[in-house]
Amino acid sequence: MPVFTVKSTAALERAIRLKRQLMAFYSYCLLWAGTFIGVELAAFEPNTPTLALLALIVIINVFFYLLIRTGISEQFRDPSLTIVQMAAGILLTTAILHYSRELRGAMLSIYFMVMTFGVLALDRRRMLLIAAFTQLCFTSLLIYEWFEAPQQAIFSYLVGHWLILALGLGWFIYMGGYIHNLQSRVREQRRRLHEAHNRLSAIAVRDDLTGLYNRRHFLERLEEEMSRANRENNPLHLAIIDLDHFKQVNDTYGHHAGDDVLHRFAQLAAMGLRKSDLLARYGGEEFVVLFPHTSTQACQAAMERLRNRFAQQHYSFSGDLRSKFSAGLTPYQPGESAEEFIKRADRALYQAKDLGRNRIQLAN
């Protein structure tokens, strides 16, 4: 069952990544459409290779889509490949900027569009890295254009564009770091909440002293096991156990000694019974065991084993105390209520007490 959950979570995450990839493709298409319209309106260089750009966009997206789809990207620390994808977007934007003329200033915002992809995924250090890469690409473009056609370059524009980009990127580094910290804090709080919830759930079903299940949890599980036994027609047995003359232990050696005995019984029973048996502290010095899928003989044998082991225990507070218990054991009769089932086991327990204690009494 857990394997299935892990698998489906991985599949879900991959589906989210593929969806994000489609979003990236959509953004690329908008960028291309803007470029195409820009060329048509003569706001871009007329020799802008729009078809080559479109081919490049498709190649980039198919490449990343396949990496994610085939699961190859999962070998990397970030299976969404955010940094590499952003770097590809920045390189393509730089290429498009080369052909932009009057629209250069407006087209700088495309860099910022690419940066938004990193805000939710990258920490401040990585945002700084990708921002430095962006600034480097743009600076290289400006230097290239300066040397290629110095007569067309207007120095104040170059410096202006360079500064606007640097300031905008600075804002993204700050914002990215802030949002990343916020996300980390939320994740940490969610983790703590989850832990606290698990702790509380454990406390709600356990008995403080022995660590066994408590009466409320037992009664809930009893109903479940009874309906399963009714459904599947499987044997189900209930044993109610009561430590013998326990008051004397308290009165003679003190409450702490009594607690030790209860604790020792709980340990022995938990170790000696099967994982599928449901053991709980029913109250005071009373315990219950529910045996699903077990024959009467096997239940009796398990109870006898426990009785013998318990009677052989030595306690640090008294060399000669041998604590014992009596128990009533009964099989579930199909269709009966929990109350009837428990009452029969209880009656058997009282018979065991009446017959001299330190025994397991069966009631059919």
Ligand X SMILES: Nc1nc2c(ncn2[C@@H]2O[C@H](COP(=O)(O)OP(=O)(O)OP(=O)(O)O)[C@@H](O)[C@H]2O)c(=O)[nH]1
Site residues (vs ligand X, CB under 6 A): 209, 242-247, 250, 255, 258-259, 262, 284-285, 353, 357
Contact by Cβ (8 Å): 43, 101: yes
**Active-site residues: which are they?**
285
Angle 215-232/338-354 helices, nearest 10 degrees?
Answer: 110
Q: Which helix (H) or strand (E) holds 248?
A: helix 246-253
Contacts for 286 with CB less than 8 Å, ≥ 6 apart: 240, 241, 242
Asked if residues 103 and 44 have their Cβ atoms less than 8 Å apart, the reply is yes
> Given the complex with ligand X, which of 135 and 250 has the nearer CB atom?
250
- Give the C-alpha separation, 269 to 289, whole Å: 9
Q: Least distance from C-beta 211 to ligand X, angstroms? A: 13
CB 329 within 8 A of CB 237: yes
Residues 304 and 311: their CA atoms lie apart, in Å, by 11
Is the CB of 197 or the CB of 216 nearer to ligand X? Answer: 216
Q: What is the DSSP track for 249-317?
A: HHHHH-HHHHHHHHHHHHHHHHHHS-TTSEEEEEETTEEEEEEET--HHHHHHHHHHHHHHHHT--BTT
Q: 283 vs 133, 150, 347, 348, CA distance in Å? A: 69, 92, 17, 18
CB of 258 to ligand X, least distance (A): 3
Taking the complex as a whole, how short is the minimal distance between the CB of residue 252 and ligand X, in angstroms?
Answer: 11
Nearer to ligand X, 287 or 332 (CB): 287
Position with the least CB separation from ligand X: 258
Q: How far is the CB of 249 from ligand X (least distance, A)?
A: 7
H or E, element range at 241? strand 236-243
Question: How many CA atoms within 13 Å lie on the side-chain side of 271?
Answer: 10
**Count of C-beta atoms within a 10 Å radius of residue 346:** 18
Q: Which is nearer to ligand X, 274 or 324 (CB)?
A: 324
| Closest CB to ligand X among residues 80, 358 | 358
Q: Please, which residue, 145 or 259, has the CB nearer to ligand X?
A: 259
CA distance linking residue 128 with residue 170, whole number of Å: 8
- Nearest distance in Å: CB 359, ligand X: 12
Could you give the strand order of the β-sheet that contains 325-331, starting from the edge strand earlier in sequence? 278-283, 286-292, 236-243, 325-331, 360-362
What's the closest the beta carbon of residue 243 comes to ligand X, in angstroms?
A: 5
